[in-house]
Amino acid sequence: ILNVEQSPQSLHVQEGDSTNFTCSFPSSNFYALHWYRWETAKSPEALFVMTLNGDEKKKGRISATLNTKEGYSYLYIKGSQPEDSATYLCALHTGNQFYFGTGTSLTVIP
Amino acid sequence: KAGVTQTPRYLIKTRGQQVTLSCSPISGHRSVSWYQQTPGQGLQFLFEYFSETQRNKGNFPGRFSGRQFSNSRSEMNVSTLELGDSALYLCASSLRAGYGYTFGSGTRLTVV
């Protein structure tokens, strides 16, 4: 069992603030790290797939980095908007299965 | 194109009963995985099917089983339901193992 930790557990920010949260994992022995966004009453939606140390991905105001040597990935949201409110999940794929973190719940206050 | 379809959306069952959940993946996706989410827990992996074969299984008791049909549709069965089985069950499909998932909307199972 691989323990994927996400912090913080929840976050409240004002509209327009930039924010970031962390996904930590104990091993660099994995195929890929995935980020998902999960809005209430909807299905989790894929954001990024990252495989290499130093990977950086960007989608609009959201970006992510991966550091496999130190075992973490950061997700950044620039200029948060109310529609960014969701739970953000990271997951490691080891070749056999995905291991999900418990997520960071983001609330953006208008 | 149609997304991942899970049925039913909500289900209430009594302890000791059994239940079958269904998942239809995106057309062309041959890998189907099942996850359980309970309050305070991350998504817990149940099993993955690919081309009608179970490829991987998570750490769940034998009461949890599944299968995949030739059209890639998958079913999950839980027998002898316990109160602790109350959860959201998510199905996810992908082209191949390790590729990004497309998730269904889930089945909310309540065991009373």
At residue B82, the pLDDT reads 97
Cα A105–chain centre separation: 10
- C-beta atoms surrounding A76 within 10 Å: 15
- The closest of B76, B9, B83, B82 to B48, measured between CA atoms, is B76
Mean per-residue pLDDT, B16-27: 97
Nearest to B22 by CA among B67, B68, B76, B61: B76
**Minimal C-alpha gap between A17 and chain B (Å):** 27
* Residue A75 in this model has a pLDDT that exceeds 80: yes
Average pLDDT over residues A46-59: 90
Helix (H) or strand (E) holding B46: strand B44-50
Task: Pinpoint the alpha helices (H) of A1-110.
Answer: none
- pLDDT value at B99 more than 90: no
- Interface check for B60 against chain A (CB to CB < 8 A): the answer is no
Q: Do B43 and A45 touch (CB under 8 A)?
A: no
What digits encode the pLDDT tens for the residues B80-90? 999 999 999 99
Instruction: Please check whether residue A100 touches B, CB under 8 A.
Output: yes
* Token code pair at residue B84: 């602790």
